[in-house]
Structure 1
Amino acid sequence: MNTQRLATNIKTFAGWLLVTFVAAALGAWASQDAPAFYAQLDKPSWAPPAGVFGPAWTALYLMMALAAWLVWRVRGFRTAPRTLGLYLVQLAANALWSWLFFGWHLGAAAFVEVLVLWALIAATIAAFWKVKKFAALLLVPYLAWVTFASALTYACWTRNPGMLG
């Protein structure tokens, strides 16, 4: 690989990391008081402790950025605008959930939104699969986590109508 191509790959990977972690930061901004709020919720016995979420999401965001970069490497943004555009839309939906649940305490809206997010992730996996199978596989843990998060969102919303009404 020549030096110019290597530099381009490094820059674009850094760009996908930046875009992905900006979305993460927007969600984190809404979640500043999440540990205290989460501690107050009546949660099911299978709910993880608050300390699990940060490391899990960090790993997922890294895999998401890598997946987007791998698709970009195959097609570039100009030749895969729908595929990478879908990635960006699901990323925005991802950030929105934190605002709905932790920022605005809207349990019903957060539950509906996490289902939309799940569908967007599944669509992104399908789109990535057509371009680069490994990129699609990198998103499978994300889909699994959001599946779990959907159940947890529903459980917390229905158990806490006064706090998530």
Structure 2
Amino acid sequence: MRAAPKYDGTGEVAVAESTPPRARALQGVGAAILAPSALSLLARSFAEGRARNRAMAAYSAVAGLGAALGLVVGGLVADLISWRAGFFLNVPVGIAMVALTVRFLPATERHGGRFDVAGALLATAGSTALVFGIVVATDIGWTAPATAGPVRPGGAAGRASPHATAAVRQP
């Protein structure tokens, strides 16, 4: 059983050493899901032409500013407050985005469908195994069994994924 985090009296909570990388990974997963979803919402919500072009331009400008300012603000917060505070910088931005989304984006009509479980599992497992194998290869070499172990099935899953997706009606 895992011990509860301990409050040390300084305003910070002591956590396991692996918690910050896991939290950062979770933020990365959220960003990876959010970016294509946001672009899809824009493409679906604005008619082709001037309105969509303006929406895409505004998205691009905000994304560029966020990338540039995020580094500067994150560095300042880490330097002046704590590196832990950086995990909370996105909270007010997220709250504002949810409020603005509800206010300005129209609801879309729902379409029935099924989730392509086999294709999703093959694509996810394949790309995860390939990335793991490539990362391990930098430390132990390309000919090591620990490298070939994940790379071979990862490649096979990657090759099988389009076939599994093609076999379903709504991938």
TM-score by length of 2: 0.34
Quick one: higher RCO (CA 8 Å, sep 6+), 1 or 2?
1
TM-score by length of 1: 0.35
Q: Which has the larger radius of gyration?
A: 2
